[in-house]
Amino acid sequence: MDTPDSRETLLDLHRSGKLVDRYPAVPGLLAELSGAELVTAGRLLARLDPAEVAAAHPGVPAVTVAVTGHGTLAQLVPPLTAELARHGLLARPVVSDFDGWVFDLGDPESELYAAEPDLTLCVLDPMVVFDELPLPWRPDDVERVAREKADLVERLAERFQESGRGTLVLNTVPLPHRFAAQLVDHGSRARLGVLWREFNVRLLRLAERFPAVTVLDLDPLVAVGEAATDPRLSQYAKAHLSPGLLARYARQVGHLARHVTGRTKKALVLDLDGTVWGGIVGETGPEGIEVADGYRGEAFAAFQRVVKQLGAQGVLLAAVSKNDPEPVAAAFRDLPGMTLREDDLVRIVANWRPKHENLTELAAALGIGVDSFVFVDDSPYERGLVRHALPGVAVVAVDEEPALHVEALLRDGWFDARALTDEDHARVGRYRAELDRKDFLDTFDSLGDYLRGLDLKVRIAEADEAQIPRLSQITLRTNQFNLTTVRLQPSDVRALLDGPDTSVLAVEAGDRFGEHGVVGALFLRRDGATLHIDNFLLSCRVFSRGIEQACLAAVLAHARDAGAARASGHYRTSPKNGKVADFYQRNGFVPAGPGSPGEHGEHGEHHDGTAARYDHDLADIPDPPEHIHLINGLGGEGS
């Protein structure tokens, strides 16, 4: 859909009062908008009542975003609303009073804390320092005030860590030219630059000290040409960051919101001709394509280097190309100028079938949802077809100018994460092994024979400190085998791990093809004689192998041995976890309560969206599946 049609459609929906009813279509309408057009769309969307949208579309994830800071920040709401909407999220903004940030974050009884936001944006601007300088001022005055403000922000971050929930988002502060220019000697200007950078370094390091804090660096946004401030808005409206910079800041927050709601992408799928290299390899042969040599070839090589950099950080790389497989394989294998090689990609698909069909089959082979894909192609036709057939796929448009490929790929931060884990660095090898497992499956006549041949080992035990980032990541990224879809930051996992009545279990697995690493988590809570399974999650990589039954059997047996009389499992329906709706019932649990008509949905979930409960009396606990060697770190070893 081109930009004018998208704008007009959105405006028509607004005028006709149908925008709430059609809210799930909004991401598609916003996909091609950017800059001022996106902010204009955000103004329309910001007029909607989030409660009304949530009531009409309970499956749309809602994100409560608290906005506080030093200056006027109402102008942040439209771009923020639009950025979340384009990722399929509903923004529930809570905007604080002017210059209320110290009170908001310093008082655990404040309205900000009471809102229990998923994201708390504390927007810092240059005037947080310059408003408190004497006249005349010198660099030493800036050093003193900046140090005091950094100390204050640090104390507030510590208070948030202790009292808040979700994520506190801080930012570095740009230094406007009009302040540096007030110092007439270059030595003083240089000292001001040093002091200001030290101030920003202190802010950036807060993310290292406090797990609940993320710091967005605004310097790269200013470096691409965005003005840091608008002098008139700063003077008259006390809006000390420019609308353009706030819009770019909102885009970064949108990436973060996508991550905290479990919508981070996992795989980058590339077209080849015109995208990874110049020319058509089927017509010219490998030796005729543009890669490395010449100015255009160098641009394609630069794009390949960026792709390889992403792959080294856990992003799965694949290629889907309309081509014969032989010349494609020869290009990756034989061309000396190629940066990407076959070993960098988990799969290369070269055939003449429609690309959306290949993407669907690739997702099934990898064991991930097709909405985990980012697809890059230089053909408007292919991009349009994929958007239409697979609306969950993020489609990145590139064109005949390869020097712009990198910017197009990185613009939306599709793979942004708060932190990387050891699992991320090992992910590509593990998915390669998963494809080997599927090839192994083809050699067996039955699933049972295949499972026995895998030599599957599962270990379940209390989590340790080193596993906290990975366990948080599982809650953020796992959608299908996630019985309540509650998202937890590392600080949340640590609190449950340290709680007197709660425990966190880590599930690890391996087989003849290698180690899977940490693939699952159980969050437990003891209440008298009842053990509550508040959530159970398992990576889609290890579905349908009996791991879930083995872990559940171990937990139930341990609960019985520890004196529990019953166990309760909790399930909350979501758009993607329907395949585990009957998990507890398939494993001997029964719906809690009288089961009166209207109390539960078809699978026991409450119609009001709260978690349904299933009970097990622990009288008859099944053994783990016989093909699994269970290493029970809860109290013994069995197989």
Give the pTM: 0.77
Domain-embedded: residue 366? yes
The CATH number of residue 237's host domain is: 3.40.50.1110
- Per residue in 344-384, pLDDT (tens digit) is 999 999 999 999 999 999 998 888 889 999 999 999 999 99
> How does residue 232 score in pLDDT terms, banded at 50, 70 and 90?
very high
Place of tokens 């340790």: 464
pLDDT grade for 607, boundaries at 50, 70 and 90:
very low
* One domain for residues 251 and 289: no
Of 225, 260, 295, at which residue does a domain stop?
A: 260
Q: Are residues 243 and 345 in the same domain?
A: no
- Domain end residue (candidates: 410, 442, 472): 410
Residues 251 and 276 in one domain: no
Task: With respect to residue 40, please indicate whether it lies within any of the assigned structural domains.
Answer: no
Mean pLDDT of the chain: 89
CATH number, domain of 334, equals 3.40.50.1000
447 & 586 share domain: yes
The DSSP secondary structure of 178-230, one letter per residue, reads: HHHTT--SHHHHHHHHHHHHHHHHHHHHHHHH-TTEEEE--HHHHHTT--S--
User: Are 537 and 480 contained in the same domain?
Assistant: yes
Other Cβ atoms closer than 10 A to 97: 10
Q: Give the per-residue pLDDT at 593.
A: 58
**Structural domain tally of the chain?**
3
The CA-atom distances, in angstroms, between 407 and each of 35, 37, 411 are 15, 19, 6
* Element of type H or E holding 434: helix 422-441
Alpha-carbon distance 578 to 583, whole Å?
Answer: 10
- Could you report the per-residue pLDDT of 275-308, keeping only the tens digit for each? 999 999 988 888 889 998 889 999 999 999 999 9
SS3 per-residue string spanning 496-547: HHHCCCEEEEEEEEEECCEEEEEEEEEEEEEECCEEEEEEEEECHHHCCCCH
- 624 lies in the same domain as 513: yes
Q: Identify whether the C-beta of residue 580 lies closer than 8 Å to the C-beta of residue 492.
A: no
Question: Looking at 260, 287, 321, which one is the last position of a domain?
Answer: 260
Domain span at 234:
60-260
- Local structure of residue 237 (DSSP, 8 states): I
The answer to the question of residue 180 being in a domain is: yes
pLDDT band at 597 (very low <50, low <70, confident <90, very high): very low
Do 256 and 291 lie in a common domain?
Answer: no
Over residues 56-80, mean pLDDT: 94
Task: Return the structure tokens found at 176.
Answer: 């406007």
Q: What is the CATH number of the domain that holds 524?
A: 3.40.630.30
